[in-house]
A = this chain, B = another copy of it.
Amino acid sequence: MKIHELETPALIVDLDRMEGNLQRMADYCHEHGLNLRPHTKTHKIPQLAQKQMDLGARGITVAKVGEAEVMSEEGLDDLLLAYPLFGDAKALRLGAVLERARITVSLDSEESLSWVARAADGKSIDVLVEIDVGMRRCGLKPGPAAVQLARLIDSTAGLRFEGLMFYPGHIYPDWEDSSRKLDQLNSDLQRQVEFFEKQKVPVHRVSGGSTPSAFYSHHIPALTEIRPGTYIFNDRHSLEWKTCSEDHCAASVVTTVVSRAVTGQAIIDGGSKTFSSDPLRVGKKGGFGLVKGFPEVQFVKMNEEHGYLKVPDEAKLEVGQTVQVIPNHICATVNMHDVIFGCRGEEVVESWIVKARGKIR
């Protein structure tokens, strides 16, 4: 089956590009002695997580217990739940996952710690204390509080303080102030590690992350592990952040032009329920995707099932024609699809069910 024969809208992945992306990150981590623990929220597909493991990943990262359930059911047995655990049901569910996988959990509060203890129920869970190195999302401010929480972890049956986690989601390669932010991050991390050393609490692991900052990881000496997700496919953000070139964008959505009734405009059969409505958060270009092969066409607006392309007179874009669009944010787009198709050149050669799709709990 050829790509243009797929029923649209359909999310496709160029397997050569994807394999190149996976290899490049694996090589980088190997070269710099970093453990790679890919965030599987990007693809939500156990077979792709397994590919990442086969290329040397130390384990995988998940955001929600539902993702941990899906991944562990399919044999992924070393999971970092990079999200604070809350509630009885989630504790019980994580306890069930613990029967078949090694689990690390991150947290920043005693309240979440008590739920992790409930999940462990005497069995062994590793715990990372999340610290905030500038993202201002979750995480304790670097200082003595993290050490206090680490001690509390170590004094809890089954739990072991393993180290620190942070998310450098505020650092992008082409931002002017990224080197200042990187210096600040290193100084925060160093300060935090010194607090631990002074109190003689050993830090075995420091887990960073994010695709935009991934290839900067060797400038963060404290790091032992990174958790990039997007790198497997890349997207328009990766491109605009100059994390990759267009040749590294492995995923795109095949759509059909369903109306050209309005002058200067083509409507495609994918909108926010196909792409997500994530805006482009970098630069001033705006829009909702890159229309492959049509540099003069802009994806300017969307409704739920309609994408609006602004089409100059000279562009040949006819009703019924298919066009491929690289989405702004591939993690959000994947989550809109039940299935993804893998392609070699123009040939559709395999498909995967997005098994952890919609696992928000």
Chain A residues engaging chain B, CB cutoff 8 angstroms: 7-10, 41, 63-64, 83-84, 86-87, 89-90, 108-109, 111-112, 130, 132, 136-141, 169, 256, 258-262, 265, 267, 269-270, 272-274, 276-279, 303-306, 308, 319-320, 331-332, 335-338, 357-358, 360-361
Inter-chain contact B269/A86, CB cutoff 8 Å: yes
Q: How far is the CB of A107 from chain B (nearest CB, A)?
A: 9
Specify which chain B residues have a CB less than 8 angstroms from the CB of A279 in the assembled complex. 277, 279
A361 vs B270: C-alpha distance in the bound complex, in angstroms? 9
**In the bound complex, how far is the Cα of B267 from the Cα of A132, in angstroms?**
13
How far, in angstroms, from A86 to B4 measured CA to CA in the complex?
13
Contact residues in B for A335 (Cβ distance below 8 Å): 273, 304, 336
Between-chain CB contacts (< 8 Å), 27 pairs: A8-B87, A10-B361, A83-B269, A84-B258, A86-B256, A86-B320, A108-B259, A109-B259, A111-B319, A111-B320, A112-B258, A112-B319, A130-B261, A137-B262, A138-B261, A138-B306, A139-B262, A169-B303, A272-B276, A273-B332, A273-B360, A277-B278, A279-B279, A304-B332, A335-B336, A336-B358, A358-B358
A244 to B121, CA, bound (A): 48
B63 & A305 in contact (Cβ 8 Å cutoff): yes
**Given the contacts A86-B258, A261-B138, A360 and B332 also touching, CB distance less than 8 Å:** no
The docked-state distance in angstroms from the alpha carbon of A338 to that of B64 is 15
Query: With a CB–CB cut-off of 8 A, which chain B residues contact A109?
Result: 259-261, 319
Whether the pair A332, B259 counts as a contact (CB closer than 8 A) is no
Instruction: List B contacts of A273 (CB < 8 A).
Output: 332, 335, 358, 360
Q: For A9, what are the chain B residues with a Cβ–Cβ distance below 8 Å? A: 360-361
Known contacts being A138-B267, A267-B137, is A258 close to B360, with CB within 8 Å?
A: no
Q: Given that A108-B259, A139-B262, A358-B338 are known contacts, is A90 also in contact with B267, CB under 8 Å in the complex?
A: no
Q: Give 9 A-B pairs besides A137-B308, A273-B335 with Cβ atoms closer than 8 angstroms.
A: A8-B361, A109-B319, A132-B262, A137-B262, A137-B267, A138-B258, A169-B303, A304-B331, A336-B358
A213 to B136, CA, bound (A): 41
A contacts with B: majority SS: loop
Chain B min CB distance to A104 (Å): 17
CB-CB under 8 A from A108, the residues of chain B are 259, 261
Cβ A89 vs Cβ B7 within 8 A: yes
Establish whether residues B336 and A360, one from each chain, have CB atoms under 8 Å apart when the complex forms. yes
Is A361 within 8 A of B261, CB to CB?
A: no
Picked from B277, B337, B358, the residue with its CB within 8 Å of the CB of A277 is B277
- Do residues A265 and B136 form an inter-chain contact, with CB atoms below 8 A? yes
A153 to chain B, nearest CB (A): 16
- Complex interface: chain B residues within 8 A of A169 (CB): 303
| Complex CA–CA separation, A303 to B273 (angstroms) | 17
CA distance A112 to B357 in the complex (A): 32
Who on chain B is nearest to A258 by CB?
A: B84
Bound together, the chains give a CA A45 to CA B98 distance in angstroms of 35
- Give, as a whole number of angstroms, the nearest-CB distance from A25 to chain B: 20
